[in-house]
Structure formats: structure tokens, C-alpha cells
Amino acid sequence: MSTSPTPASSASAARAGRVPRYVTISAWSIPVLIIGQFAMLAIVPVAAVTLGALRTAQLRSVRWWAVLLSALYATALTIWLLRPDGARSLSRDMHPVFPVLIVAASALVLLTIYRRKR
């Protein structure tokens, strides 16, 4: 039996200390979708950032910001769903403070990810 590392084990060892790429890309796409008036589609990257932060041990410092991000988005979505006279679009029905807070929370997630990489 050979004790040399297999390509799969060396690849996983190389990734051991890295932030998953999908978390970083998702965190970047949230402000783009919110500002671009595609707030309903932002549910996918918000969920990806939150699940990635909760599942990945290296993202322990990002967890609180990811939970804040998902709570802000869930609040805006819940208000939109529960309003009887709401607009057809989440982007048009959101109070102007919510996009600012969601983009700021996403920026905090990104800042924490990039500070962690240093």
C-alpha cells in the first residue's frame, strides 16, 4: 500500500482554510440584485450565504452578520407577503430603509470575509 496522498485528499487539504467560493460570490451578488431591483431573486444568494456561514467552520466570524442579513431580508419579505395592498414586486414594495440595511449587512459579510483572509 502506498502512503502518497491522493489527488482528492490533497485538494481538500488545500481548501481546508479557504472560504467557499459560492459564499463570496453570493455575498457580492446580493447588493447587485437589490440595487438592480431584483430583490425577490436575492433570496437565493441570501440563503447561500446564511447556509454557507452556518455550515462552514472557517466562517465562524461571518455567522452573526449572515444571520443579520437573512433576518433583514426575511423581515422585508414577510412584510411584503402580509400586506393586503402590496405591490406585485418586492423591490417596489420595500421601504427604502430595507435595501440600505440589506446592502450594508452584505457589505459587512464581505468585509468580514476579506478581513479573515488576511
Count of structural domains, the chain? 1
Report if residue 60 sits inside a domain.
yes
User: What whole-number distance in Å separates Cα of residue 22 and Cα of residue 53?
Assistant: 11
CB atoms within 10 A of CB 35: 13
Report if residue 7 sits inside a domain.
no
**Domain limits at 28?**
20-117
Report if residue 12 sits inside a domain.
no
pLDDT in tens, 14-65: 455 688 899 999 999 999 999 999 999 999 999 999 999 999 888 888 999 9
Report if residue 62 sits inside a domain.
yes
pTM of the model: 0.80
Report if residue 48 sits inside a domain.
yes
Per the structure block, which three cell numbers stand in for 47? 440563503
Report if residue 88 sits inside a domain.
yes
Q: Are 99 and 40 in contact (CB under 8 A)?
A: no
pLDDT in tens, 58-107: 888 899 999 999 999 999 999 998 988 877 888 888 889 999 999 999 99
Q: Are 76 and 39 in contact (CB under 8 A)?
A: yes
